[in-house]
Structure 1
């Protein structure tokens, strides 16, 4: 009987908040970070298009178990819409499908924004990761198929016009919820204003709970490859990692003892005592000595683990 294969790489856990450059795919970025850190596992929390820059949270090791909690978080984008053309991809990459000589006034743009604030109905772009009958929409679009993508409700918490530098462009900032396509906003703005439009610049500056200040440029990380001493190089890279538990800051938190941590790691529930103990929570996380031990539920005076961390 063959022995199970030992995972390749280091069993590290944490978040690297990458400032992704333009013309660099999200999957490509994850592969690069996994290789740089020599990590066993890696994944990202929310795709950024190759033509977009900015925050791409990348989970290493056990932190991949917390990816869904970051995927569900609010996001902030700064983006530029170029008026006069609608494109097949709703950004610079696609072919022009509609054009107009008409240009919107600043007053018309500002008057439009309340229609796109709150819970809105949005049809995702043809070139998107939405699944249609088991196929990705962008795969079907690349094969020349025009598919009917159903509309869905998304949340736009804040939408601000930052500037209109000229008649052809407008700069915006949007704070939105999971599943919102900024490219679709640009497309729909242009249609409503009767001038057509597409994204010509897009940058993500925030993915809850990670702030813009913790982003690390890819060039900063790749520059460390020049350090010949492996241990020194790894230490320099690891200094940029954020603790796995930071991804769970929106959940209720309990602090436990070493004995309780041992029970949770064995998959057993623990009793919660004291007047301040939470009564019922569908999801919470437990730490011991500042380290994440488990995500679980609280009920009937117990914390029951769902996911346990090394």
Structure 2
């Protein structure tokens, strides 16, 4: 007879958790595990990683979910391994080998190809992707053996490095580091580099090592989270405004803060800014985001008074002075 399953008591949690997503889990599965460990009421992530990919996956909790869309547009940096001489049906290690070719690649030829794929390039999205056609994901067509025409897309490869290496199987491979714009498929980049080298290639491993200002060194693993106490898990959270590092900071006093939080525009001597993070002065707290045009602060996504209160409550509790025995 099985013991009854303990029901998790959810609670409001606000902030950003930088997770080092493990191999084999979908981004949503990783999110749900972290959400369960934190007992959080509301959570979302800022862009998916395939189950075969690992690395930086920012998870947003509570009020932070209001700004997760902003981080979807962030530049990403990946570390990838691509095996040369083999093409697969999926472009990665999950597919069947559909073609083998001899590998004859010099470092000079490789660096010439690297230059060819640096800067503005066009990519045809892979069939094994979550992009939708007529309301259905491309990978669903691919699994049914149907090839769908996909228009090429413009992406940016800001930095690209590639070196020849060997896998444990002694097969020739490339180690690739790419900093790129959103929407770049590293699997496609690996395949295209292989084609340009004349031997074909497919991705064997993929790790996201940075997204925006967040790097892999800041991340925590699910295994580490599981070993922590609840207080230690909460201490891993970055504040909500960690998602707004490049926003112009605006601080409002008293009545101005209250009216802004109600969605009312404010006037001041602020310079124009497409993105501003707005705070109240006392107690210090993020109110939301805005844009500034001709000295007018125009509200965007705002926190609710309840969310602000929940964020401030632990801070206030930590600042409470505990009286000593003599009343000092």
**TM-score normalised per structure 1:** 0.89
C-alpha distance in structure 2 between counterparts of 1:133 and 1:268, whole Å: 40
Which has more radius of gyration? Answer: 2
Unaligned 5+ residue runs, structure 1? 1-7, 225-232
Please say which of residues 283-292 and 181-190 is displaced more in the overlay.
283-292
Q: Contact 1:104–1:167 (CA<8 Å) still a contact in 2?
A: no
C-alpha distance in structure 2 between counterparts of 1:44 and 1:219, whole Å: 19
Partner of 2:317: none
C-alpha distance in structure 2 between counterparts of 1:17 and 1:204, whole Å: 12
- Closer, same or farther: CA 117–293 of 1 in aligned 2, 3 Å: same
Tell me the CA shift for residue 300 of structure 1: 3.2
Q: How does 1:227-306 map onto structure 2 within 5 Å? A: 233-273=229-269, 277-278=270-271, 280-289=272-281, 290-306=284-300
Tell me the CA shift for residue 50 of structure 1: 0.8
Deviations 1:140-175 (A, max 9, x none): 112221111111000100001245246611111010
C-alpha distance in structure 2 between counterparts of 1:88 and 1:259, whole Å: 62
RMSD: 1.6
C-alpha distance in structure 2 between counterparts of 1:285 and 1:54, whole Å: 28
- Closer, same or farther: CA 60–178 of 1 in aligned 2, 3 Å: same
Partner of 1:99: 100
Q: How does 1:28-39 map onto structure 2 within 5 Å? A: 28-39=29-40
Q: Contact 1:245–1:291 (CA<8 Å) still a contact in 2?
A: no
Tell me the CA shift for residue 216 of structure 1: 0.6
Number of residue pairs matched? 291
C-alpha distance in structure 2 between counterparts of 1:84 and 1:254, whole Å: 55
C-alpha distance in structure 2 between counterparts of 1:137 and 1:291, whole Å: 43
Unaligned 5+ residue runs, structure 2? 1-8, 308-328
**TM-score normalised per structure 2:** 0.84
